[in-house]
Amino acid sequence: RLLHAAATPGAPLHQLHVFALAHVMRRPIIVYGVNIVNSFRGEALGYARFQGIYLPLLWDVEFCSKSPLCLGYTRGHFSALVPMEPYSHTHTYICREQQAESSEITFLPLTDADGKLLPVHFLTCDEVGPAEGMEAAESVVRRWLAVCVTRGGLLAARQTLHARPLLVAQMLEEWLNHYRRLAQ
């Protein structure tokens, strides 16, 4: 279906763009989004099938980062989702497992509001292997992402945070100071 859409001029490629971006970045991408796209009047325009996990499956897992990128999708647009602050270095209140790493990280849920694993797009029978259903998808996710299980039993991805570039840190601090002054 996607190849047919790609051959049709002007046809949208939908999830293929995100799948390609995961390969260019050599990182998994998690997309959180709405299920139905609405017009500015609130009328339903159609289903949005972007939400889910996109893995760079055409690369070997050893050549890819296990720290995912995160996007939000709503009203026909993608937005980068970036955490403001990392969690403290003692993550035991979030994850059951003891954390050995010292870098700053944040956690991204890999489940929807009902606790079901987000869909893993573009999996083939070769990637899934002998297991079936959600267990198979979860084993693939565990292989490609740095994950932990929360105290509530939900699967979460660990996203490693890097120091902000100096200019970005200065801009953020100026922006925050502006609103701090307004609050006084």
pLDDT digits (tens, 9 = 90+) for 64-95: 999 999 999 887 788 999 887 666 555 555 66
Domain borders along the chain are 2-183
**What percentage of the chain exceeds 70 in pLDDT?**
79
The mean pLDDT value of the chain amounts to 82
Q: Is the pLDDT of residue 4 over 80?
A: no
Confidence bin at 34 (pLDDT 50/70/90): confident
Highest mean pLDDT among 101-105, 149-153, 177-181: 177-181
* First and final C-alpha spacing in the chain: 57
Residue 52 half-sphere exposure, CB side, CA atoms within 13 Å? 19
C-beta separation of 140 from 128 below 8 A:
yes
Q: Is the pLDDT of residue 8 over 80?
A: no
Per the CB < 8 A criterion, the answer to whether 104 and 125 are in contact is no
Element (H, E) at 59: none
* pLDDT attached to residue 42: 82
Q: What pLDDT does 118 receive?
A: 94
Name the strand (E) or helix (H) holding 14: none
Answer whether residue 55 shows pLDDT above 80: yes
Distance CA 159, CA 146 (A): 8
Which tens digits make up the pLDDT trace of 110-163?
999 888 999 999 888 766 666 566 678 899 999 999 998 888 888 999 988 877
With a pLDDT cut of 90, the percent of the chain lying above it is 35
Residues 48, 97: Cα–Cα separation, whole Å: 35
Residues 78, 44: Cα–Cα separation, whole Å: 18
Mean pLDDT of 5-18: 72
Q: How many CA atoms lie within 13 A of 29 on its CB side?
A: 28
Q: pTM for the whole thing?
A: 0.78
